[in-house]
Amino acid sequence: MSVRTKGALITWTTGDRAAAPVVLLHDRYRDHDANDALGARLAPTHRVVSVRGARTQMEMGLIKGYYWHLGPLAEPELSTLGDALSHLELLLIELNRETGRRIAIAGTGEGGSVALLIGLLWRELVVGVASIDGPLAGNIGDMPITLPPADGLPVLLATRDADLAPSAAALAARGASVTTRPAGDDAVADWIRGLPV
């Protein structure tokens, strides 16, 4: 395992460094190791990069966890979201330059919501997005960005207990190729392994 700091982000990399890269984003108030089970399933076939969000939540002087943006999942606060997207864009560019490949992104909860936006924003860098219980932000129209067409971007919406049907419809309307299924580390890993290399 290698640990690196890239700007405000810290990453942990496992698996074959020459293999197709996959970036894992944690849920709100979690840490990079929250997706260890999924990472372990992918490490034999992928270069797994687990990322810690740059913002720290403290409670009574102790670290509660890390987060990507303020506000609810469905309507993130735009300044903090913009910071997270900017940091992650730099990571994607670096991974693309190192490997010459597009990157798969998987996230849980808040990390899944951010992963969906990354996939829509940087389609040329992203081969597919898996979001586990992370909805597409409902305030996309308020964001100071222009989203290009999704051009068939493969998207997996895996659910444990979130209603992702509105997100599925919104992503399909943007041109994404959406698959929905119950969440499970094996199901998500299998879907990611099926993406083009």
pLDDT of residue 161: 85
Which ranges in the chain belong to alpha helices (H)? 36-42, 78-99, 110-121, 165-173, 185-193
Query: Residues 7-28: what's their mean pLDDT?
Result: 92
Of the pLDDT bands very low, low, confident and very high (cuts 50, 70, 90), residue 6 is low
Q: Which two tokens stand for residue 91?
A: 């990571």
Q: What is the mean pLDDT of the chain?
A: 92
Contact 127, 152 (CB under 8 A): no
Q: Which two tokens stand for residue 40?
A: 């372990």
| Burial status of residue 24 (CB atoms within 10 A of its CB: 0-12, 13-18, 19 or more) | buried
- What pTM did the predictor assign? 0.94
Query: Residues 168-180: what's their mean pLDDT?
Result: 96
**How confident is the model over 74-109, as pLDDT tens digits?**
899 999 999 999 999 999 999 999 999 999 999 999
Does the pLDDT value for residue 197 go beyond 80?
no
Of the pLDDT bands very low, low, confident and very high (cuts 50, 70, 90), residue 162 is confident
Does the pLDDT value for residue 7 go beyond 80?
no
Angle at 186 between CA 72 and CA 74, to 5 degrees: 10
Query: Residues 107-128: what's their mean pLDDT?
Result: 96
Contact 162, 169 (CB under 8 A): no
Give the span between the Cα atoms of 178 and 104, in whole angstroms.
15
* DSSP codes joined into one string, 99-153: HSS-EEEEEETHHHHHHHHHHHHTTTTEEEEEEES-PPPTTGGGSS--PPP-TT-
**How confident is the model over 67-82, as pLDDT tens digits?**
999 998 889 999 999 9
| Burial status of residue 8 (CB atoms within 10 A of its CB: 0-12, 13-18, 19 or more) | middle
pLDDT of residue 59: 85
- Candidates 3.30.1490.190, 3.40.50.1820, 1.10.3720.10, 1.10.760.10; CATH matching 2-193: 3.40.50.1820
Sequence spans of domains, the chain: 2-193
Residues in CB range of 64: below 8 A, 6 or more apart: 29, 57, 58
